[in-house]
Amino acid sequence: MQGEETKRVGIIWWFFCIAAGWWVLMGLVILLAAFDENKLEHERLLKRPDIIFGFSNKNVLLLAGGFHLVFGTLFLVIRDSFSKFLLMVWACSVCGIYRLGLNWLSPHWVKQGDVCPIERLSAGQLGINPKPFSLLWGVILVGMVVGALLVLLFERRQRKQREEAEFMENWRKTHNDGSQFPWAG
């Protein structure tokens, strides 16, 4: 039973390590994109004001990169899975709400469903087409929330099994006469 529990803890640990790695990697890519003024298109986009916050896209990239690095680090530091779950849901929802806000507040010259500047500049930094990168980013965020929920449910089930096993062990220790449980009939 100990080996099985170690395997279960390993799955939970790997999930949050992979999620933390993704957040840190994206934070670094976003920070690098904030300083990518090699292309004229990127330079103009970095100087343009952000629709949500009102300051330059470069500052938004610095803020978003720092946000991703902090949360990636927190996923490694925090030990409680429930706290990690809440943090994961909150961080992913912040990214989703920002994207929805961009769609809602975007001026008439921005096409509906266009890739936001953070995604466009990050994809440019990686040398990837912005549309698939935006889609992949959204899928990964949804996957992280679903994965964190599954980890939380998995851990709850594991805790209940452990409590039942402890109860049975205590019952056997206190009732040496081999009597059945009162509700066993």
Q: pLDDT digits over 56-95, tens only?
A: 888 999 999 999 999 999 988 998 888 888 999 999 999 8
Does 54 fall in a domain?
yes
Does 132 fall in a domain?
yes
**What is the separation, in whole angstroms, between the first and last Cα of the chain?**
29
Does 175 fall in a domain?
no
pLDDT given for residue 19 in this prediction: 92
Does 166 fall in a domain?
no
Q: What is the mean pLDDT of residues 96-109?
A: 77
Does 180 fall in a domain?
no
pLDDT given for residue 162 in this prediction: 85
User: Which one has a higher pLDDT value, 37 or 120?
Assistant: 120
Does 173 fall in a domain?
no
pLDDT given for residue 24 in this prediction: 95
C-alpha torsion sign, points 99, 104, 105, 110? positive
pLDDT given for residue 185 in this prediction: 46
pLDDT exceeds cutoff 90 at 117 = no
Does 185 fall in a domain?
no
Q: How far is CA 109 from CA 9, 76, 114, in A?
A: 50, 41, 11
Q: pLDDT grade, residue 53 (50/70/90)?
A: confident
Does 182 fall in a domain?
no
pLDDT above 90 covers what percent of the chain? 26
The parent domain of residue 140 ranges over: 2-157
Report phi then psi at 56, rounded to 5: -60, 155
How many domains does the chain contain in total?
1
pLDDT exceeds cutoff 90 at 50 = no
3-class secondary-structure state, position 112 = coil
